[in-house]
């Protein structure tokens, strides 16, 4: 039988008379590892061979498994007065040799009383090949190693760790949480600054070269997390480079939350470069707000590849859903404001431009599409104000829609377009003349409420009618025809100039002088062989 040659000693207990020494050993039985329960006696002596027997501790029924055992031996603390000590081991009455030399570790039993007892001189320098000092705390609120700077001034640290190693992943101070199911806010290293002012730092990292001052990594979590109840969670600053840089191979590179405002931002996800939400209960939050001296928000999607199924969107805006309780929803909302002073400026609420690239392609500067349930108020585009088009306006149909002149509170009135210097409405029909060659033509009940300045045209059908004429002009929404052939047909047409409230409010000026600042400029300069610089409505192209 032989004990393990190495001896480890720790201060593990708080007993008044003795601090246990942890002893690990190895037993052999006829050349094989021993197994079973053994009675062991540990003797403290002052010599490696004979000498004085200073103290003994017998432990019965020590469990030995595959030759290995571990016990806690208790000797009188006073015997460790700095003199050399050895431990002799007796197993089942058999003395083992050689005796084990007691290293300096057991003297740490005085470390918690060193200031008062004066048994430890400072600075205490310990040198070893591996772990030099280990501290253990058995209690749930215990501390393994604690360093305190007691003086009220000075910059020396409470605990300092250094390494001279130039190897990769060398560490000056290492803190670990070993439990694989550690609780919330458990930390390998934690720094607290108890200052109640705005100065001081909880954890400070610096690097003398181009490396990282603070580096955080995790396989599936947050590499670096910052949280502030009333300040800045994470702030980065650089005088000549990036203030904050975040990168990831999967997941989210950077997450920012403002809990009081229910604001959440993810940077660098698998799907989005930036994903931002603000879902405050009041419904007044803004997902992304950008402010810039030149451009508030810039979206750019150059894209790669080619194919009919590929889409590229610089800025995409969506708003609302079928469960929302809001009244108004804006997919994209733009507002441009030119200052009141200094003429010749332009403001664009929304500016869209597109380039086809070739005559076989189609481009839309602004494209609007209504995809919901079709109704009387479903529009791909709606304009409240004057609209001007330079170029050709093409349409599949067109009409005006106004409040009905006879019943503006409950009805609408719609008419198809007629293009004329005046706002004309044209009404046509075919009348059959009576036995006297006359006809009474009834017009819509709203005719005179909508129109004035009537013009007439009569065309006989089948044969000429020399005396055909308007016998009575429009009155009570009707007019009369006479001088025709009895029983013959007459095609009639009546045109009226609109004089309803909307027409009068939005009356057009057929001919008008250009303002002095527009002299020499054109609505459509290209039609006159001039370039765009001669246009009244400038075709300014944003530089982004």
- The predicted structure's pLDDT at residue 498: 94
How, if at all, do strands 451-461 and 412-416 pair?
unpaired
Over residues 216-229, mean pLDDT: 76
Q: How confident is the model at residue 469 (pLDDT cuts 50, 70, 90)?
A: very high
Which residues make up the CATH 2.60.40 domain(s) of the chain?
1-139, 399-505
Instruction: Check: CB of residue 459 under 8 Å from CB of residue 490.
Output: yes
Tell me: the pLDDT tens digits for 232-248? 777 787 777 777 777 77
- Mean pLDDT (the chain) is 81
The helix (H) or strand (E) run that includes residue 449 is: helix 447-450
Is the pLDDT reported for residue 79 higher than 80?
yes
Is the pLDDT reported for residue 16 higher than 60?
no
Measured CA to CA, the distance from residue 9 to residue 103 in angstroms comes to 8
For 115-129, 397-411, 439-453, 476-490, which range has the lowest pLDDT when averaged over its residues?
Answer: 115-129
- The predicted structure's pLDDT at residue 371: 77
Locate 348 and state its tokens: 């664009």
For 4-18, 165-179, 256-270, 428-442, which range has the lowest pLDDT when averaged over its residues?
Answer: 4-18
Listed residue (415, 313, 296) closest to 354, CA to CA = 313
- The predicted structure's pLDDT at residue 115: 45
- The predicted structure's pLDDT at residue 282: 59
Measured CA to CA, the distance from residue 541 to residue 352 in angstroms comes to 9
Instruction: Check: CB of residue 412 under 8 Å from CB of residue 403.
Output: yes
Give the CATH architecture of domain 1-139: Sandwich (2.60)
Range with top average pLDDT, 214-228, 461-475, 517-531: 461-475
Q: How confident is the model at residue 15 (pLDDT cuts 50, 70, 90)?
A: very low
DSSP class of residue 116 equals H
Q: What percent of the chain has pLDDT over 90?
A: 21
Over residues 366-381, mean pLDDT: 76
- The predicted structure's pLDDT at residue 376: 63
Is the pLDDT reported for residue 496 higher than 90?
yes
Listed residue (187, 245, 185, 241) closest to 215, CA to CA = 245
Measured CA to CA, the distance from residue 291 to residue 294 in angstroms comes to 9
Backbone angle region of 366, left / alpha / beta, with phi > 0 → left and psi within -120 to 50 → alpha: beta
For 31-45, 140-154, 518-532, which range has the lowest pLDDT when averaged over its residues?
Answer: 140-154
Instruction: Check: CB of residue 70 under 8 Å from CB of residue 22.
Output: yes
Locate 541 and state its tokens: 């192209």
Q: How confident is the model at residue 121 (pLDDT cuts 50, 70, 90)?
A: low
Measured CA to CA, the distance from residue 455 to residue 473 in angstroms comes to 9
- The predicted structure's pLDDT at residue 470: 97
Q: DSSP letters along 326-381, please?
A: -S---SS-------SSSSS----SS------SSTTS---SS-----S---TT--S-
Is the pLDDT reported for residue 426 higher than 90?
yes
How many Å from the N-terminal Cα to the C-terminal Cα in the chain?
85
Is the pLDDT reported for residue 57 higher than 60?
yes
Over residues 295-316, mean pLDDT: 78
Give the CATH architecture of domain 399-505: Sandwich (2.60)
The helix (H) or strand (E) run that includes residue 412 is: strand 412-416
Instruction: Check: CB of residue 44 under 8 Å from CB of residue 54.
Output: yes
Tell me: the pLDDT tens digits for 342-355? 777 888 888 888 88
Q: Which residue has the higher pLDDT, 257 or 191?
A: 191
Listed residue (498, 501, 500, 507) closest to 386, CA to CA = 507
Find residue 87's DSSP bridge partners: 44, 100
- Secondary structure percentages of the chain, helix, strand, coil, to 5: 5, 20, 70
For residue 503, the tally of other CB atoms under 10 A from its CB is: 18
């Amino acid at each position: 039988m032989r004990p393990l040659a190495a001896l480890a000693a720790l201060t593990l207990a708080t007993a008044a008379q003795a601090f246990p020494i942890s002893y690990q050993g190895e037993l052999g039985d006829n050349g094989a590892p021993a197994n079973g329960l053994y009675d062991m006696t540990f003797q403290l002596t002052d010599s490696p061979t004979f000498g004085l027997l200073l103290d003994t501790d017998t432990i019965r029924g020590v469990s030995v498994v595959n030759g290995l055992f571990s016990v806690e031996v208790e000797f009188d603390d006073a015997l460790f007065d700095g003199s050399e000590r050895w431990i002799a081991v007796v197993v089942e009455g058999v003395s083992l040799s050689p005796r084990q030399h007691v290293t300096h570790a057991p003297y740490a039993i005085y470390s918690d009383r060193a200031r008062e007892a004066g048994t430890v001189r400072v600075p205490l320098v310990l040198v070893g090949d591996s772990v030099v000092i280990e501290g253990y705390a058995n209690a749930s609120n215990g501390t393994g190693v604690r360093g305190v700077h007691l003086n009220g001034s000075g910059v020396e640290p409470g605990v300092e760790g250094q390494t001279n190693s130039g190897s990769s992943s060398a560490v000056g101070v290492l803190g670990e949480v070993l439990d694989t199911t550690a609780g919330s806010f458990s930390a390998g290293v934690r720094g607290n600054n108890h200052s109640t002012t705005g100065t001081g730092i909880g954890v400070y990292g610096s690097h003398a070269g181009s490396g990282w001052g603070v580096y955080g990594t995790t396989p599936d979590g947050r590499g670096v997390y910052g949280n502030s109840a009333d300040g800045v969670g994470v702030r980065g600053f650089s005088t000549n480079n990036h203030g904050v840089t975040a990168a990831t191979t999967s997941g989210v590179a950077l997450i920012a939350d403002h809990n009081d405002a229910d604001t959440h931002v993810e940077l660098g996800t698998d799907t989005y470069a930036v994903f931002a939400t603000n879902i405050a209960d009041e419904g007044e939050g803004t997902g992304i707000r950008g402010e810039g001296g030149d451009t508030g928000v810039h979206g750019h999607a150059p894209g790669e590849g080619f194919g009919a199924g590929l889409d590229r969107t610089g800025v995409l805006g969506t708003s609302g859903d079928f469960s929302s309780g809001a009244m108004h929803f804006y997919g994209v909302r733009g507002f441009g404001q030119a200052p009141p002073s200094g003429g010749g400026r332009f403001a664009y609420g929304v500016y869209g431009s597109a380039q086809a690239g070739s005559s076989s392609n189609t481009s839309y500067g602004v494209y609007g599409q209504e995809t919901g349930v079709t109704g009387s108020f479903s529009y791909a585009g709606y304009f409240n104000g004057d609209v001007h088009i330079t170029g050709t306006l093409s349409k599949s149909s067109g009409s005006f829609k106004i409040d009905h002149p006879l019943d503006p509170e409950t009805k609408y009135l719609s008419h198809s377009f007629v293009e004329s210097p005046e706002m004309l409405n044209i009404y046509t029909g075919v009348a059959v003349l009576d036995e006297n060659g006359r006809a009474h033509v009834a017009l819509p009940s709203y005719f005179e409420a909508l129109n004035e300045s009537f013009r007439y045209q009569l065309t006989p059908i089948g044969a000429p009618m020399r005396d055909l004429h308007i016998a009575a002009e429009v009155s009570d929404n009707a007019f009369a025809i006479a001088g025709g052939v009895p029983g013959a047909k007459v095609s009639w047409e009546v045109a009226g100039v609109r004089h309803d409230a909307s027409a009068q409010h939005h009356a057009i000026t057929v001919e008008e002088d250009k303002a002095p600042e527009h002299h020499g400029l054109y609505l459509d300069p290209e039609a006159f062989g001039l370039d765009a610089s001669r246009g009244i409505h400038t075709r300014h192209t944003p530089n982004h």
